Amino acid sequence: MRVLISTLYTGKVVKIAVNKLSAEKLVLIVDEPLNKDKKQAIEELQNSIGDIIKIETIKTSIYDISKIAEDVIKKIDEENKNNNEIVIHVSEGRKPTFLAVLFAAYLRKDKIEGIYYITEENNQLLPLPVINLELGETKKQLLTEINKGNKDIKKLKEKLKVNTSMVYSHINNLKKEGYIESNKNNKELKLTDFGRVMIL
């Protein structure tokens, strides 16, 4: 089965995506609380194509990029486990949702067939690049430890099995790359939204 995971705003471009991408099932990413316009868009999709394909919704956060990405990753993993072909559509919806869905697709790039955007002017289907969004194992482990609350450099050094200078080097790189933030002496390390996405 071909599953289309799509962002949603008015639903008009979603219908075009369903047709152009030959979807047999539609999964809509909608932010909560569900406003009147989104409810109406879902109803219109149910009325116009609900008899032809199955439509599901994933209700998620409105601005929490890591939560949205986590919800989308769970759905990608579930559909992949069912041996379904997965395509992603990102033309509609808020920018944080757009970014989160892209991050989820990048982190599960081996489980999706492609990411698509449809132009407003002529409804042209544009394939988007599926980039490699991965960290080295040590950096990913460092993010995981910081997320668990382990911020002591000596403990991190032992856990990661690297020297102290390497821990500081990784922390500085992760800060530059936007995965963590901290105070001047690195005692208040915490993951950014993007950092939390990377350990999903």
**Is the pLDDT reported for residue 11 higher than 80?**
yes
**Is the pLDDT reported for residue 140 higher than 70?**
yes
Same domain flag for 11 and 47: yes
Same domain flag for 78 and 164: no
Rg (CA), the chain: 19
DSSP H/E element including 26: strand 25-31
Query: If DSSP codes are grouped into helix, strand and coil, which group holds residue 114?
Result: strand
Token pair of 33, please? Answer: 């609380």
**Is the pLDDT reported for residue 183 higher than 80?**
no
**Percent above pLDDT 90 for the chain:** 76
Same domain flag for 124 and 142: no
What digits encode the pLDDT tens for the residues 41-51?
999 999 999 99
Same domain flag for 160 and 124: no
* Domain edge (last residue) among 103, 128, 153: 128
Token pair of 43, please? Answer: 């109803």
**CA–CA distance, 5 with 132 (Å, rounded to integer):** 20
Identify the domain containing residue 70 by its residue range: 2-128
**Is the pLDDT reported for residue 95 higher than 90?**
yes
* Domain edge (last residue) among 76, 95, 128: 128
Same domain flag for 191 and 166: yes
Calculate mean pLDDT across residues 24-42.
Answer: 92
What is the pLDDT at residue 1? 97
Same domain flag for 11 and 76: yes
Contact (Cβ atoms closer than 8 angstroms) between residue 147 and residue 191: yes
> Number of structural domains, the chain?
2
Mean pLDDT for all residues in the chain: 93
The CA-CA-CA angle for residues 97, 98, 100, to 5°, reads 60
What is the pLDDT at residue 184? 66
Q: What is the CATH number of the domain that holds 145?
A: 1.10.10.10
**Is the pLDDT reported for residue 59 higher than 60?**
yes
Same domain flag for 147 and 119: no
Calculate mean pLDDT across residues 110-128.
Answer: 96
What is the pLDDT at residue 134? 81
Same domain flag for 122 and 169: no
**Is the pLDDT reported for residue 195 higher than 70?**
yes
Beta strands across the sheet bearing 25-31: 54-60, 25-31, 2-7, 85-89, 114-118, 125-128
Calculate mean pLDDT across residues 56-85.
Answer: 96
Tell me the pTM: 0.84
Question: 152 pLDDT band (50/70/90 cuts)?
Answer: confident
- Between the CA of residue 90 and those of 21, 121, 168, what are the distances in Å? 13, 16, 37
Same domain flag for 124 and 41: yes
* Domain edge (last residue) among 128, 163, 178: 128
Same domain flag for 72 and 31: yes
Q: What is the CATH number of the domain that holds 80?
A: 3.40.50.10770
Torsion-angle region of residue 195: left (phi > 0), alpha (psi -120 to 50) or beta? alpha
Same domain flag for 183 and 154: yes
